[in-house]
A and B are shown apart, each in its own frame.
Chain A
Amino acid sequence: MNNGTENKKHILSLLVENELGVLSRISGLFSGRGFNIESLCVAETNEENISRVTLVTTGDMFILEQIKKQLNKLISVVKVLEFTGTPFVQRELVLIKIKAKQESKAEILRLVDIFRSRIIDVSPECYTIEVTGSEDKIIALLDLLRPFGIKEIARTGAIALAREKK
């Protein structure tokens, strides 16, 4: 059953003018109207003065419609793309600091290998792992690593692009 009232996760990709205050216009819109932001990622693009904001939000279809319209209404927003229903690629980069006791080191290394991630910093008691991937992959790795004792974590939030037509 889906009549549009189901709460779902949505990835929005915005092209915005790279100017003063644009990010606070966007975040202000979300907080002022009670919309939710799960993650938000901003950086410049290859086009001059244009930045890309990738934003993950949750809501039903009506809320999503309003979010898209309200974003479009912001003068600094050039374009709003939403990936639901179209093929797209999505990645997130995560740094994980994990307790590495003598007896668990081998198992951690094995997991790092399986997930095609890397260890980028080592200390006697701790590994820092770098992993990129889709949300599913990251959740799976985090679930497997948790029993060893995650000390700290830093995530970029999702970025995404639509797939080119083949």
Chain B
Amino acid sequence: MVIIKIKGAEILIKALEDEGVETIFGFPGGAVIDIYDELIKSEKIRHILVRHEQGAVHAADGYARAISKPGVCLVTSGPGATNTVTGIASAYCDSIPMVILTGQVNTSLIGNDAFQEVDIVGITRPCTKHNYLVKDIKDLAKTIKEAFYIATTGRPGPVLVDIPKDVVQAFAEYKPLKNVKMRSYNPTYEPNMKQLDRVVEMIKNSKRPLIFAGGGIILSNASKELIRLARKIQAPVTTTLMGLGAFPASDPLWLGMLGMHGTYRANMSTAECDLLIAVGVRFDDRVTGKTSTFASKAKIVHIDIDPTSISKNIVVHTPIVGDCRITLERLNKLLGEEDFKGIKASRKPWLDQIEMWKSTKPLAYEQSDTIKPQFVVEKIFEITKGDAIITTEVGQNQMWAAQFYNFDKPNCFITSGGLGVMGFGLPAAIGAQVACPDKLVIDIAGDGSIQMNIQEMATAMQFHLPVKIAILNNGYLGMVRQWQELFYKKCYSCTEMSHTPDFVKLAEAYGAVGLRATKPEEVVPVLKKAFASDKPVIMDFVVEREEGVYPMVPSGADITEMLLV
């Protein structure tokens, strides 16, 4: 038999094709020039040339979330690699499956402070699920296989593969690998059934149950099972920021998001429930507020695939390690054998109480002659009828998007949740638009954040990705200003954006469409015009400058201690 040896770069591309990769977000450089020389020949992989490597990673993140496939990035060594770190850290916090390929200097030069050498494996160790340096071409195909396996299984996350230039220049045989076997990595998917029996008992004995769902539902595709559970046991549902869309906002059992900017009823229900079924969440401090009083009247069930999430911040009564979808499926099956006939009547006092909280303290804002940012988000929702993919920047814009756009389906709300990265929304929208060419993709943005990755407008133009950017332009780093207003005696230290570009002209300079609204009655026409366009559009909504996000729980306070409008 003749052994056919091919170049490492070709092995890499073949291995990526065999993983089903269709899109790579990247930016070339000396250390990856051989890979790009092969990539251009691939008929299966499309390369999206970003304008900054951070954009590549956020785009891969948005892509991954929009279609539940791993996102892939390719960047050069040194500065190319370091520019990816923020995006990787964000994906790590939000458990987004992603593979980042970085070029590296020749193996013989590693450790010599060579030109554009950086120890990216060392730098990203704490913010990747795992990472590799491929030192031998013989390990290349296997490493790629493992990287995708690790990124997409268990609790998903980013995996970085650092590939020296001489490795992709070397020659070897490519043998496609079928399976991955790793003695040191074996996620638990199946829940402990005895624990689930206990949950059934707890549900039967509960008078005031509450389901608290998170990003784990979306990642494990468990939304249907969640809806089934909630309706069956007539338990109201709240979610984290990352969980928005996991449960339909149009359902009567929906309470809205909980936590620092959660709804009044969601936070009150959490404090008053006697059973909290937490699924696919990690009890982040933005959700729990003061941990010692969080859900203090409740027995807590916690279902999560990552054992480290359990009893890390909040000690729980019934921990269950398992995949959210499989676990809820098993739980629903167990519950199916129970009789829930009188359930609606017996839940009435609890649901009535919640309805009362809702009607006394609904999410609200006051209309005025200037445009209210919440109004813009409401109109975006109404015009799109909820059928758009929404990405966000970070700050007030992000919270208003979460509060005033009613998400009915998973994979439609894409935000940098755990890390809160300003500059996330535009590249993420680009990634989502690549994944879903026929969908309307809207970045709800702030005037500060949008400037952090504005260069990606050129990417949107080059690849005909008609993303829409709605800037809620308050002339401030609004969220920080709000904290200064409330907790720092209105000393607005360094939060005024006194110099911003003319966003309309900026859009036009990129060849995109720029629109502006300064009065409430202009909002709907601007939105309609933007959504009808087949080009990228920047909408500059000049909004009330000192509007705040409410309710708000001061950092570290009990979640019922809400500042209201």
A residues near B (Cβ < 8 Å) are 16-17, 20-21, 24-25, 28-29, 32, 62, 65-66, 69-70, 72-73, 75-78
B residues near A (Cβ < 8 Å) are 121-122, 125-126, 129-130, 133, 135, 150, 182-185, 306-308, 310-312, 315
The reply to whether A73 and B308 form a contact with Cβ atoms under 8 Å apart is yes
The reply to whether B183 and A78 form a contact with Cβ atoms under 8 Å apart is yes
Chain B residue at minimal CB-CB distance from A19: B132
Q: How far is the CB of B141 from the nearest CB of chain A, in Å?
A: 17
Q: How far is the CA of A73 from the CA of B188 in the complex (A)?
A: 11
Q: How far is the CA of A89 from the CA of B306 in the complex (A)?
A: 32
The reply to whether B185 and A21 form a contact with Cβ atoms under 8 Å apart is no
The reply to whether A72 and B183 form a contact with Cβ atoms under 8 Å apart is no
Q: How far is the CB of A31 from the nearest CB of chain B, in Å?
A: 9
The reply to whether A28 and B308 form a contact with Cβ atoms under 8 Å apart is no
Chain A residue at minimal CB-CB distance from B184: A78
Chain A contact residues: helix, strand, loop or mixed? helix
Point out the residue from B126, B129, B133 that lies within 8 Å of A28, measured CB to CB.
B126
Q: How far is the CB of B312 from the nearest CB of chain A, in Å?
A: 6
The reply to whether A73 and B133 form a contact with Cβ atoms under 8 Å apart is no
Q: How far is the CA of A16 from the CA of B104 in the complex (A)?
A: 26
Point out the residue from A62, A73, A76, A78 that lies within 8 Å of B307, measured CB to CB.
A73
The reply to whether A66 and B184 form a contact with Cβ atoms under 8 Å apart is no
Q: How far is the CA of A76 from the CA of B150 in the complex (A)?
A: 12
Instruction: Specify which chain A residues have a CB less than 8 angstroms from the CB of B130 in the assembled complex.
Output: 75-76
User: Once A and B bind, how many residue pairs between them come within 8 Å at the CB atom?
Assistant: 39
| Contact A66 B183, CB 8 Å, known A25-B125, A32-B126, A75-B129 | no
Point out the residue from A16, A24, A72 that lies within 8 Å of B125, measured CB to CB.
A24
Q: How far is the CA of A28 from the CA of B119 in the complex (A)?
A: 15
19 further interface pairs, Cβ-Cβ under 8 Å (given A28-B126, A75-B130) = A16-B184, A17-B184, A21-B121, A21-B125, A24-B125, A28-B125, A29-B126, A62-B315, A65-B311, A66-B312, A69-B310, A73-B307, A75-B150, A75-B182, A75-B185, A76-B130, A76-B184, A78-B183, A78-B184
The reply to whether A77 and B126 form a contact with Cβ atoms under 8 Å apart is no
Chain A residue at minimal CB-CB distance from B307: A69
Q: How far is the CB of A37 from the nearest CB of chain B, in Å?
A: 16
Instruction: Specify which chain B residues have a CB less than 8 angstroms from the CB of A17 in the assembled complex.
Output: 184
CB-defined A-B contacts under 8 Å, sample of 26: A16-B184, A17-B184, A20-B133, A21-B121, A21-B122, A21-B125, A21-B133, A24-B125, A25-B125, A32-B126, A62-B311, A62-B315, A65-B311, A66-B308, A69-B308, A69-B310, A72-B307, A73-B307, A73-B308, A75-B129, A75-B130, A75-B182, A75-B184, A76-B130, A77-B184, A78-B184
Q: How far is the CA of A25 from the CA of B132 in the complex (A)?
A: 12
Instruction: Specify which chain A residues have a CB less than 8 angstroms from the CB of B150 in the assembled complex.
Output: 75
Chain A residue at minimal CB-CB distance from B154: A73
Q: How far is the CB of A77 from the nearest CB of chain B, in Å?
A: 6
Q: How far is the CA of A66 from the CA of B306 in the complex (A)?
A: 12
Instruction: Specify which chain A residues have a CB less than 8 angstroms from the CB of B122 in the assembled complex.
Output: 21, 24
Instruction: Specify which chain A residues have a CB less than 8 angstroms from the CB of B133 in the assembled complex.
Output: 20-21
Instruction: Specify which chain B residues have a CB less than 8 angstroms from the CB of A66 in the assembled complex.
Output: 308, 312
Q: How far is the CB of A74 from the nearest CB of chain B, in Å?
A: 8
Q: How far is the CA of A78 from the CA of B121 in the complex (A)?
A: 20
Instruction: Specify which chain A residues have a CB less than 8 angstroms from the CB of B310 in the assembled complex.
Output: 69
Chain B residue at minimal CB-CB distance from A75: B130
Q: How far is the CA of A70 from the CA of B309 in the complex (A)?
A: 10
Q: How far is the CB of A81 from the nearest CB of chain B, in Å?
A: 14
Chain B residue at minimal CB-CB distance from A76: B184
Q: How far is the CB of B230 from the nearest CB of chain A, in Å?
A: 29
Instruction: Specify which chain B residues have a CB less than 8 angstroms from the CB of A32 in the assembled complex.
Output: 126
Instruction: Specify which chain B residues have a CB less than 8 angstroms from the CB of A70 in the assembled complex.
Output: 308
Q: How far is the CB of A38 from the nearest CB of chain B, in Å?
A: 22
Instruction: Specify which chain B residues have a CB less than 8 angstroms from the CB of A78 in the assembled complex.
Output: 183-184
Q: How far is the CA of A25 from the CA of B131 in the complex (A)?
A: 10
Instruction: Specify which chain B residues have a CB less than 8 angstroms from the CB of A76 in the assembled complex.
Output: 130, 184
Q: How far is the CA of A126 from the CA of B512 in the complex (A)?
A: 82
What 5 pairs across the A-B complex have the smallest Cβ distances? A75-B130, A78-B184, A69-B308, A69-B307, A32-B126
Q: How far is the CB of A165 from the nearest CB of chain B, in Å?
A: 25
Instruction: Specify which chain B residues have a CB less than 8 angstroms from the CB of A28 in the assembled complex.
Output: 125-126
Q: How far is the CA of A25 from the CA of B126 in the complex (A)?
A: 8
Instruction: Specify which chain B residues have a CB less than 8 angstroms from the CB of A75 in the assembled complex.
Output: 129-130, 150, 182, 184-185
Instruction: Specify which chain B residues have a CB less than 8 angstroms from the CB of A16 in the assembled complex.
Output: 184
Q: How far is the CA of A32 from the CA of B92 in the complex (A)?
A: 15
Chain B residue at minimal CB-CB distance from A77: B184
Q: How far is the CB of B36 from the nearest CB of chain A, in Å?
A: 26
Instruction: Specify which chain B residues have a CB less than 8 angstroms from the CB of A62 in the assembled complex.
Output: 311, 315
Q: How far is the CB of B153 from the nearest CB of chain A, in Å?
A: 11
Q: How far is the CA of A70 from the CA of B311 in the complex (A)?
A: 12
Q: How far is the CA of A66 from the CA of B121 in the complex (A)?
A: 24
Of B129, B130, B182, B308, most buried by chain A (CB within 10 Å of CB) is B308
Q: How far is the CA of A21 from the CA of B133 in the complex (A)?
A: 10
Q: How far is the CB of A15 from the nearest CB of chain B, in Å?
A: 9
Chain B residue at minimal CB-CB distance from A78: B184
